[in-house]
């Protein structure tokens, strides 16, 4: 990977809401990550398992031994140079969309953050609680500040659930998917090679189609911010 032109990717994210950078991880690094994932105890409460999807919430907390494998030199440079010096992890999820999966995701924005407790803080809400984990929709500036990295452990295209996005939708505030005017907006499929990453802003409208080519899609989703939360709230997965 040529890291000298990260400015190009940064400007693409700021304008369009997303970018793809391939060859961030070597085949050997992906194999090491995969081996850790193959040996996990899937019965924990933060693990969600169905025939269409396997997911791990609070992924980096559940599998601390994988952190050093994920934060290789390339990822550290991406975070520092594209996001900023003070960005830290605020959320992590692992998705495994199996070969036979009918799982698809309709267009949406990622509008909630994970916090440590439920507090009555102005402009924060609505709230949801799953398995004693608290999620809340924060004010827009907090969402606008977040960057998401999606690490691809498999080659991904439109046939096995690559993300489709609406370019520039991240700069339009809260954008209800039912109001998308396809005469004005366009759709782009984000193909990512095994070992590559997709970076996106949470407010970028995105979704994915069902798998049709019998190939699995495993993705590690990590969100970053450099903002502190008000009113005594803390990021529940904060990690440097």
Domain range spanning residue 28? Answer: 3-225
Tens of pLDDT, residue by residue over 41-90, are: 777 777 877 666 688 899 999 999 999 999 999 999 999 999 999 999 99
Nearest to 224 by CA among 88, 54, 78: 88
* Residue reference for tokens 């590690």: 220
Residue 138 forms part of a structural domain: yes
Residue 130 forms part of a structural domain: yes
Residue 239 forms part of a structural domain: no
The lowest-confidence range among 21-25, 102-106, 164-168 is: 102-106
Is residue 89 within 8 Å of residue 224, measured between CB atoms?
yes
- Indicate yes or no: pTM above 0.75: yes
The DSSP secondary structure of 71-96, one letter per residue, reads: S-HHHHHHIIIII-TT-EEEEEEEEE
Residue 38 forms part of a structural domain: yes
Residue 108 forms part of a structural domain: yes
Residues with Cβ < 8 Å from 71, sequence gap 6 or more? none
Say which CATH number the domain at 73 has: 2.60.120.620
Tens of pLDDT, residue by residue over 181-234, are: 999 999 999 999 999 999 999 999 999 988 888 888 899 999 999 999 999 999
Residue 231 forms part of a structural domain: no
Is residue 238 within 8 Å of residue 62, measured between CB atoms?
no
């Amino acid at each position: 990977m040529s890291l000298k032109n990260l400015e190009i990717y940064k400007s693409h994210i700021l304008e369009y809401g997303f970018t793809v950078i391939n060859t961030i991880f070597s085949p050997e690094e992906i194999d090491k990550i995969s081996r850790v994932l193959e040996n996990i105890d899937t019965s924990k409460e933060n693990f969600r398992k169905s025939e269409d999807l396997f997911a791990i919430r609070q992924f980096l907390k559940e599998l601390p031994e994988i952190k050093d494998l994920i934060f290789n030199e390339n990822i550290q440079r991406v975070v520092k140079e594209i996001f900023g010096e003070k960005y830290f992890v605020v959320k992590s999820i692992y998705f495994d969309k199996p070969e036979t999966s009918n799982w698809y995701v309709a267009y949406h924005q990622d509008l909630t953050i994970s916090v440590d407790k439920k507090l009555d803080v102005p402009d924060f809400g609505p709230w949801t609680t799953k398995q004693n984990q608290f999620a809340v929709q924060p004010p827009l500036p907090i969402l606008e500040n977040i960057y998401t990295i999606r690490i691809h452990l498999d080659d991904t295209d439109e046939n096995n659930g690559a993300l489709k996005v609406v370019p520039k939708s991240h700069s339009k505030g809260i954008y209800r998917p039912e109001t998308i005017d396809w005469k004005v907006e366009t759709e782009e499929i984000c193909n990512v090679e095994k070992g590559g990453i997709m970076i996106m802003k949470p407010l970028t409208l995105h979704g994915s189609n069902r798998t049709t080519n019998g190939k699995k899609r495993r993705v590690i989703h990590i969100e970053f911010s450099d903002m502190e939360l008000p009113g005594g709230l803390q990021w529940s997965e904060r990690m440097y």
